[in-house]
Amino acid sequence: MTELLQHFSEYIQLSDILKDEISKRVKQQSFNKGELVHDANKICTHSYFIQKGMLRTYFLKNGREISEYFCCEHEWTNSPRSFMFRELDHYYIDAIEPTEVFTLHVTDLVYLFDNFPEMERYARLSMGSLFYHMIERITSMRFTTAKEKYQHFCQAYKDIHHRIPLGMVASYLGITQETLSRLRAEK
């Protein structure tokens, strides 16, 4: 729990009451490598804070898995539209490696927002970095060559790109695994 509270403390000041409320509402959970964390055919009701390991968010297109993004230690993930609007979305989440998480149910998050204004500040501040990352990804996908896409990927995921299977990296970049192998050989 210390890691999670430390994460919140990077954005907001935590009162003892808020720490206690967070501790009461958060649960620990573990996932094996390859285990499905969220099924797109269900409404996403939990957000996951990763203590250890890595999760991938992806969708299916013509029966193929297309990686959308990767999250690792000290990051949150969920199926955003499904979680926020409580409706089905097209995103799946799976564990790329054995992963330990803290989970927070959407109703508990709403309770924290309603009763602790500093939690809304946390959400606003932490979403800024996510928004920046998504804009960078869109720009990279639309305006760069395959080589530049790969370089951007390596920079955006500089601490973890070596932990991600190459097939998932290729699908994230929108290129074939053969093209990715060629780009990696050019480095």
Domains (ranges, CATH) in the chain? 2-112 (2.60.120.10)
Percentage of the chain surpassing pLDDT 70? 99
Residue 52 pLDDT > 70? yes
User: What is the average pLDDT across 45-64?
Assistant: 96
Tell me: pLDDT of 187 over 70: no
CB 15 within 8 A of CB 89: no
Give me the chain's average pLDDT, please: 94
pLDDT at 129 over 80: no
Q: What is the pLDDT of residue 60?
A: 97
pLDDT surpassing 70 at residue 19: yes
Long-range contacts of range 13-16, CB-CB < 8 Å, 24 or more positions apart?
13/118, 14/118
Mean pLDDT of all residues in 102-113:
96
Contacts of 103 (CB under 8 A, 6+ apart): 26, 27, 28, 29, 46, 47, 48, 49
The per-residue pLDDT for range 133-186, each reduced to its tens digit, is 788 888 888 899 999 999 999 998 999 999 999 999 999 999 999 999 999 998
Query: What pTM did the predictor assign?
Result: 0.91
